[in-house]
Amino acid sequence: MPQHEPLHLPVTQLTGIGSQSAQRLEKLGIHTIRDLLFHLPLRYQDKSRIQTISQLVAGSSALVCGTVEYTEYPQPGRSTITCRISDHSGTLSLRFFHFSIRQIQPLKPGTKLGCFGEIRHGFNGLEMVHPEYRVIETPEQLLESSLIPVYPTVEGLSQRTLRKAVQQALTLCQQCDSLQDWLPPQLCKAHQFPSLREALQLLHQPPAELTPLLVNGHDFPARKRLAFEEFLAHHLALLQGKQAYKHWQAPVLRLNPTSKQRFIDCLPFKLTGAQQRVIAEIEQDCSQPKPMLRLIQGDVGSGKTVVAALTALAALDNGYQVALMAPTELLAEQHFANFQNWFANLDQLPCFLSGAVKGKQRQTTLNAIASGEAAIIIGTHALFQDSVQFHKLGLVIIDEQHRFGVHQRQALRAKGQYQNIRPHQLVMTATPIPRTLAMLSYADLDISVIDELPPGRQAITTRVISNQRREEIVQRIHDWIAQGRQVYWVCPLIEESEQLQCEAAEKTALLLSQLLPDVRIGLLHGRLKATDKDQVMQSFKNRACDLLVATTVIEVGVDVPNASLMIIENAERLGLSQLHQLRGRVGRGSIDSYCLLLYQPPLSETGKQRLAIIKQYQDGFIIAERDLALRGPGEVMGTRQTGQIQFRIADLERDNDLLDEIPAAAAWIKQHSPAAITALIQRWVGLQRHQYHDIA
């Protein structure tokens, strides 16, 4: 579209927007008049109706009209002003903590005030704290003909300035034809969506007959229409990022049948049908000269790591290096130990790199990576530091990928870029992704699912037990260990502090050692040195330790078949996914396994539901769907994490029923209206656009 059209003009063309306001608008991603149209309200104020004081309800916002009865001015040692107003139905307190002389001058007995604010309980009944207020002659002066929008803003940019600017943008929008409606007409008709102009007008200036609850609600057609369009734009951006990545070349990695069979023959277990199917999908990807982008989903214990190892073998067979990155040192060390065992007979021993590797040993490792002497490199986020230079990186494997920010993943992949070549990328997660979220958040990845557990894995009996029965639990541990079995005792995060978490684990270990003097107790937490953690884990694996007291660092990667009883303290504080991950540490041997969830009564309703779900279900995918329904997508997927999708109007929890139709709408647009793709992405994704190329 021509840049001189009104909506493409800079915001400085609007009355009241000078250079300073324009700079503040830029911080919100607003550069043009069109950008203002898509800067949508967070909420609304209803100033279309006056409520009597007797009608007020704590927790709601309201417009009231009353006469000042008295004003209590600051006393020595206090800086609060309290003003009491009344109407024919009752009285209301107004409280101010920050004020100027000019502000308090009107608060004289007999003055008629109009006030708007949130109602809450105070010392002397209901009150408003720092309400908007003004002196009036008649109540009619207060009334507005539409709901008042409240916009996201930055310091120095008032709501009044934003409202005036948006009003001008809406007027221009109605006067020109440069705002294209890109949604397929048949889709708008099927959903009874309003046009784009109507939707924007309704959301910026809802008529007074509507309520804030209705306008912010899931079923409000204007909001739903724009949420759908925003979902669609992000989905298209992910697909475009994937397409852009596929334009790069990648090394052709063909797995040598002889070395593959030799590797499989040395394994102490047989591959499941699901593992073999996923390996075949990966082999097909890697045999192409385009970069693989594949996510492996698999429940706890389904055998994702050995699939990753066979993929690594393909890279080694073709003379390329492999980098495997894990989010914690403990998990990285577990992968390192597994790869050492599996590759020992192939004369391809891995090297390890984390922040704990220092001095001469670190330099030796860096030199081996740079020269190509080290072909398999396993480690933590240390792998993408500037000091790490790969010789010929052909494959990047990332475990528990949702724990890494987008830029961390991109930094590692970029290290393998040379000329027009990029490495293949395989990411793994034991956190099942609900189908609706996968369609949007992972549209850039091909997804493989390992939906079969290895034979011999035992069902885990889960019990929910009050903390008041700890003595019984301690006795059960004593009896369990007497039978030659081992136990986990998990102390989850209680405060947002690793130090406090570790102190809680240390205190628990000390208490249990007093209650169980004949039991050999180990302690594992995140503040131990790497060598000490390894020593504790080896001791537990070798049965030199009976009871392992640990923080949630054992959530992933720890495999001790003889440990068949787990106690999780304060289980009500953990999410379903984390509880399921922790529980997956038991049930790995041939004996019956149990997970006891200790909770501190009384339980909240959400706590009861969460523990009931983990008790009832073993399937991680079912648990993930229940978790989505219970907590919402922001919690389940960690959407507040750096690099994750940020929406302006769409809400994954409120609007997730729209996601089913997004792929079909995207396919229609790609086929019938390809020009809409860039326009929709620019409209909704804007400054986030670069992330989708980074994710790919």
Number of folded domains that form the chain = 4
Classify the C-alpha dihedral 221-222-227-229 as positive or negative.
positive
Structure-token pair, residue 290: 């385009």
Does residue 15 lie in a domain region?
Answer: yes
Is residue 422 within 8 A of residue 413, CB to CB? The reply is yes
65's tokens: 């009209």
The secondary structure element, H or E, covering residue 149 is strand 148-150
pLDDT at 410: 62
Relative orientation angle of helices 304-317 and 273-286, to the nearest 10 degrees: 30
Domain co-membership, 412 together with 287: yes
Cα dihedral angle (355, 585, 555, 410), rounded to 10 degrees? 60
Report the pLDDT value the prediction gives residue 684, as an integer from 0 to 100. Answer: 87
Lookup: tokens for 543: 């049965």
Looking at the structure, do residues 421 and 482 belong to the same domain, yes or no? no
CA-nearest of 372, 385, 445 to 415 is: 385
With contact defined as beta carbons under 8 Å apart, do 15 and 172 qualify? Answer: no
Query: Which of 584, 617, 650 is the endpoint of a domain?
Result: 617
Write down the pLDDT at residue 554: 73
How far from chain centre, in Å, is Cα 679? Answer: 27
In a domain? residue 29: yes
Q: Has residue 419 been placed in a domain? A: yes
Range of the domain at 521: 460-617
Q: Is residue 661 part of a domain?
A: no
What distance in Å separates the CA atoms of residue 610 and residue 574, rounded to the nearest whole number?
9
Task: Tell me the C-alpha distance between 275 and 282, whole Å.
Answer: 11
Alpha-carbon gap, residue 418 to 437, rounded angstroms: 34
Distance in angstroms (rounded) separating the CA atoms of residues 170 and 168: 5
Query: How far is 677 from 683, CA to CA, in rounded Å?
Result: 10
Say yes or no: 25 and 63 in one domain.
no
Shared domain for 162 and 118, answered yes or no, is no
Q: What is the CATH number of the domain that holds 555?
A: 3.40.50.300
Residue type, 77: G
Q: Is the peptide bond before 434 cis (omega within 30 degrees of 0)?
A: no
Q: Give the span between the Cα atoms of 552 and 570, in whole angstroms.
A: 12
35 and 59 assigned to the same domain:
no
Residues 16 and 98 in one domain: no
C-alpha to C-alpha distance for 363 and 388, rounded to whole angstroms? 10
Tell me if residue 549 falls in helix, strand or coil.
strand
Residues 40 and 54 in one domain: no
pLDDT at site 407: 54
- Judge if 446 and 332 occupy the same domain: yes
With beta carbons less than 8 A apart as the criterion, state whether 271 and 306 touch: yes
- Whether residue 679 is contained in a domain is answered as no
608: left (phi over 0), alpha (psi -120 to 50) or beta: alpha
3 state SS of 599: strand
Strand partners, 125: 122
> Do 547 and 561 belong together in one domain?
yes
How many CB atoms sit inside 10 A of residue 629's CB? Answer: 14
Question: Token digits for 113?
Answer: 């005030």
443 with 483, same domain: the answer is no
Alpha-carbon torsion (36, 693, 4, 675), positive or negative: negative
With b for 16 or more beta-carbon neighbours within 10 A and e for fewer, the 378-402 pattern comes to bbbbbbbeeebebebbbbbbbbbbb
In the sheet with 563-568, reading across from the earlier edge strand, the strands are 460-466, 593-599, 563-568, 486-490, 547-550, 521-524
**Can you tell me whether residue 263 is helix, strand or coil?**
helix
How crowded is the C-beta side of 311, counted as CA atoms within 13 Å? 36
Would 690 be classed as within a structural domain?
no
- Strands (DSSP E) along 343-411, which ranges? 351-353, 376-379, 393-399
Q: Is residue 231 part of a domain?
A: no
Q: Residue 408, Cβ neighbours under 10 Å: how many?
A: 18
Q: What is the pLDDT of residue 256?
A: 92
Same domain for 392 and 268: yes
CATH of the domain at 106: 2.40.50.140
Residues whose CB is less than 8 angstroms from the CB of residue 654 and which lie 6 or more positions away in sequence, other chains included: 218, 227
pLDDT of residue 692: 47
128/202 same-domain check:
no
Specify the amino acid at residue 385: Q
pLDDT of residue 243: 80
Look up tokens 């539409």; give the residue: 146
- The pair phi, psi for residue 351, each rounded to 5°, is -115, 160
pTM flag (> 0.75)? no
The token pair at 2 is 């021509």
Last residue of a domain, one of 450, 471, 501: 450
**Any domain includes 582:** yes
Identify the domain boundary among 450, 478, 501: 450
Averaged over successive runs of 10 residues, the pLDDT of the chain (696 residues) comes to: 70 94 92 92 91 93 95 76 94 88 85 95 90 91 89 91 95 84 87 92 91 85 94 89 82 94 91 95 95 87 91 96 88 88 86 90 95 94 87 90 57 69 88 68 81 79 94 94 95 62 82 94 84 84 93 70 93 85 84 92 88 90 76 48 63 81 90 91 70 42
